[in-house]
Structure 1
């Protein structure tokens, strides 16, 4: 089992398959993806290399793989990537985080390939506000895609970044939606990155304020599975869906960390806000998953106890599209 020096075990790999994103979310890529920022970004891990990565992590006890971006659906071989992850011995669950741009047209193919879980980013349920945040008038199309995923019985989570000036006033609208829609809606605290200092200062909302509101309204926290993400999840008997809170600024947030990240170029990131990734591309390209597993095991021993977000340290993370958040 993959374990660090603080006794944390890592059942969950977040694997970025591209840095490119076609949305222009105001908290992440307000100017859109900048082509040519890095030549390396034009050379993401191939299907064969993803197979090596997933088999290495699976041999170390990882049970869940989430394909992220950028926007993973921009990969024309995404179906093959899902199949590759699903077929690795020991992997119980394959998930995707997407902006939903291609969801309605592709979700059936993703399910046939072995997709077990879906996360969709929707930062507003108001079409005009959604367009203002993302740069795209696609909300209704994305909601139809979610409806189709639910028809296919795919467990679906919806991610909404809390933004004081853009969607906080919609909180009750979100609750009304969850009352009749069987999704897990996760509110994510806006995180400081290298590119969003001023935006963070004017838009950060403490997740603890939302937690207190939920508890006062009869919501109760539910137990997390061992390969679950970092969200505290809450249920209410009168609601079809659930509410999750991801609060990276909360006390002891990192104590239950169970996930590692691999960039689209084969760099292992021990934390989203680490100083830099550990370049493992050469070993990945060799196709030797056992050698890669040993490198991963050795690297994890150097994982810090916690990020330093509260001190304003964001490491190498310029924006959340780099590693899928």
Structure 2
């Protein structure tokens, strides 16, 4: 992969209109996924033509420019990032920024289906933490949520990652009448394996052919319910993402809560997202975006790309527009989460 003009220049950091320093990039490498979780995708999805998706060389160049602009944490996402053919080539190239000290962390979010194949290589490249999306510990329920996934495949990948020395954090979408009877079991499961756990409210993104209001569960309610059985103490720990953390006194482990609807997390937002087509979203819950692909493909110099990025950060909104309205079943945001990147 080519080195970039940006690496040889001294760059001012990315600071938005509200004084927030942007040092966290989530970059999607594909909109495709091998599951069809019903709260995330429609049963029949139409994925992007390959010609619209950035090449690994383009993704590497783009990420390297962001690193030069002060990004310290880089998360590779999808869809499911590990289903993209030869994606380890890109991750291996990006890992040079860890070795140079330009990045503090290179990580990814995955559904775990491909982890057994890649865990050892990911660990060798400096991946120390991975977020694993898993909403149930019951095989029949897992197949229903994902529409065809196999839980044993995920558990095998999980064990492979742990054996390779990678720390795991489970991301659990809290869904009323779907998995809300499992939260105590998940706490025990994670504590026994020294894994983190974060609960997430369902987000109104993309048409899924179902009413999200029926499955929406406030994490304020979840936390109150957990406190009937567990002692939760507020924690000052911050991961760089939007979660608020509590310490579970019985085990010493941490539990995170990401509450975009019941408790807006925008005040300290330090992150932006780039899709696999090179579209930059400065806010997950807003439709405003800018096209980075054109700047990538029309100039060998990084100057135009840097100008577009800075211009977008200068217009980053203060907060999102997420809302679940029982009288209007339309999603707040038209694009699916798999398009934006998790």
Match status 1:292 vs 2:305: yes
CA distance in 1, matches of 2:190, 2:120: 23
Match status 1:71 vs 2:71: no
CA distance in 1, matches of 2:176, 2:216: 6
Match of residue 188 from structure 1: 200
Where 1:58 maps in the other structure, the secondary structure is: helix
Identify if the C-alpha distance between structure 1 residues 219 and 42 changes in structure 2 by more than 3 Å, giving closer, same or farther: farther
Preserved CA contact (<8 Å) 1:47 1:84: no
TM-score (norm 2): 0.87
The alpha carbon displacement at 1:251 in A equals 3.8
Identify if the C-alpha distance between structure 1 residues 34 and 273 changes in structure 2 by more than 3 Å, giving closer, same or farther: same
CA distance in 2, matches of 1:72, 1:187: 21
Match of residue 338 from structure 2: 321
Match of residue 316 from structure 2: 303
1:177 to 189, 194, 199: 189
The alpha carbon displacement at 1:72 in A equals 0.6
Tell me whether 263-272 or 302-311 shows the greater mean CA deviation.
302-311
CA distance in 2, matches of 1:165, 1:141: 25
Preserved CA contact (<8 Å) 2:42 2:208: no
Greater fraction helix: 1
List runs of 5+ in structure 2 lacking aligned partners. 1-12
The alpha carbon displacement at 1:137 in A equals 4.0
CA distance in 2, matches of 1:298, 1:138: 44
Identify if the C-alpha distance between structure 1 residues 273 and 287 changes in structure 2 by more than 3 Å, giving closer, same or farther: farther
Where 2:338 maps in the other structure, the secondary structure is: helix
CA distance in 2, matches of 1:153, 1:277: 37
CA distance in 2, matches of 1:311, 1:141: 33
CA distance in 2, matches of 1:306, 1:161: 21
1:53 to 59, 62, 66: 62
Where 1:188 maps in the other structure, the secondary structure is: strand
List runs of 5+ in structure 1 lacking aligned partners. none
Preserved CA contact (<8 Å) 1:131 1:137: yes
The alpha carbon displacement at 1:43 in A equals 3.1
Where 2:38 maps in the other structure, the secondary structure is: coil
1:111 to 120, 123, 126: 123
The alpha carbon displacement at 1:252 in A equals 4.1
1:10-21 correspondence to structure 2 within 5 Å:
10-21=22-33
Q: Deviations over 1:212-254 (max 9, x none)?
A: 34456312232244x6211112222432643111100134411
CA distance in 1, matches of 2:289, 2:24: 17
Where 1:256 maps in the other structure, the secondary structure is: coil
Match of residue 29 from structure 1: 41
Tell me whether 199-208 or 307-316 shows the greater mean CA deviation.
307-316
1:88-99 correspondence to structure 2 within 5 Å:
88=97, 90-99=102-111
Match of residue 243 from structure 2: 231
CA distance in 2, matches of 1:173, 1:76: 35
Where 1:168 maps in the other structure, the secondary structure is: coil
The alpha carbon displacement at 1:66 in A equals 0.6
Preserved CA contact (<8 Å) 1:63 1:91: yes
Preserved CA contact (<8 Å) 1:150 1:156: yes
The alpha carbon displacement at 1:3 in A equals 0.9
RMSD over aligned Cα, in angstroms?
2.1
Match of residue 256 from structure 2: 244
Tell me how many residue pairs correspond in the alignment.
Answer: 321
Q: Deviations over 1:124-177 (max 9, x none)?
A: 100100010002342122112112212222121111111112111112221221
Match of residue 277 from structure 1: 289
Match status 1:145 vs 2:157: yes
